[in-house]
């Protein structure tokens, strides 16, 4: 059985996260730095949990709600999620 996450690569996850943060935090895409910690953008715990839930739906996998704290940048989170595919 083929699932959605079978085709999602680290770069795709990175782009999703960049777009999500830009939209959620009302920033331009060029203001997003994949190496900047999420808390550097003012991402609070409520928004981080919402982001994790949206990622779960998009990737089709269960994600620990605290994963954004364990992998606190777009780059590190995308790499970890891609490894779970």
Phi, psi of 41, deg, nearest 5: -95, 0
pLDDT at site 3: 46
Q: What's the CATH fold of domain 4-83?
A: 1.10.1200
Average pLDDT, the chain: 90
Show the tokens assigned to 57: 């739906």
Domains of the chain, by residue range, sit at: 4-83
Count, residues in the chain: 85
pLDDT digits (tens, 9 = 90+) for 21-61: 999 999 999 999 999 999 999 898 999 999 999 999 999 99
Give the helix/strand (H/E) hosting 43.
Answer: none
Find how far residue 33's CA is from the centre of its chain.
Answer: 13
For 3, the enclosing helix (H) or strand (E) is none
């Amino acid at each position: 059985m083929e699932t959605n996450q079978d085709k999602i690569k680290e770069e795709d996850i990175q782009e999703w996260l960049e777009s999500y943060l830009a939209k959620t935090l009302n920033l331009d895409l060029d203001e997003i730095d994949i190496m900047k910690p999420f808390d550097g953008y003012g991402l609070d715990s409520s928004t981080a949990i919402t982001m994790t839930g949206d990622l779960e739906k998009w990737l089709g996998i269960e994600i620990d709600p605290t994963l954004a704290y364990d992998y606190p940048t777009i780059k590190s989170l995308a790499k970890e999620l891609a490894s779970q595919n």
